[in-house]
């Protein structure tokens, strides 16, 4: 079992739909990152969370430390949101390593 599990693996939505991507992890963490990767390759850091909730534009990220679970929500989805979304955790305060989930491929159709 991977230390970081994402669901779903693939998600297809219609423009305007509300989208949720889930991340569960099995280790103690000091921080959780949500990353976005477009087909061109570059990775953009969307959020870093250690507790609670963060919002940036149409994106919302939440984390429940007790349940070891985080969600990424996209409101009013748009085709330009089509990308791979990756959850990554830093497993200890002194750790330099990120443990990545397998990613969620999101396709938003017009």
Partner 1 sequence: DTEVTQTPKHLVMGMTNKKSLKCEQHMGHRAMYWYKQKAKKPPELMFVYSYEKLSINESVPSRFSPECPNSSLLNLHLHALQPEDSALYLCASSQVAATSGNTIYFGEGSWLTVV
Cis peptide bond upstream of 8, omega within 30? yes
Is 54 a binding residue for partner 1 by CB under 8 A? The answer is no
Is 65 a binding residue for partner 1 by CB under 8 A? The answer is no
Q: In whole angstroms, give the CA distance from residue 33 to residue 65.
A: 13
Between 16 and 95, CB nearer to partner 1:
95
Size of the site for partner 1 (CB under 8 A): 25
Coil vs helix vs strand at 103: coil
Is 39 a binding residue for partner 1 by CB under 8 A? The answer is no
The angle at the Cα of 97, spanning 73 to 101, to the nearest 5 degrees, equals: 35
Give the footprint of partner 1 on this chain (CB under 8 A). Answer: 30-31, 33, 35, 40-45, 48, 50, 86, 88, 90, 93-98, 100-103
């Amino acid at each position: 079992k991977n230390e970081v599990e994402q669901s779903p693996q693939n998600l297809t939505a219609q423009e305007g739909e509300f989208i949720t991507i889930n991340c569960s992890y099995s280790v103690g963490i000091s921080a959780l990152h949500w990353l976005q990767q477009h087909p061109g390759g570059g990775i953009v850091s969307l959020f870093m969370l250690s507790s609670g909730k963060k919002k940036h534009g149409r994106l919302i990220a939440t984390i429940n430390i007790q349940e070891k679970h985080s969600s990424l929500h996209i409101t009013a989805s748009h085709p330009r949101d089509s990308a791979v979304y990756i959850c990554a955790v830093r497993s200890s305060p002194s750790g330099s390593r990120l443990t990545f989930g397998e990613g969620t491929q999101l396709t938003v159709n017009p």
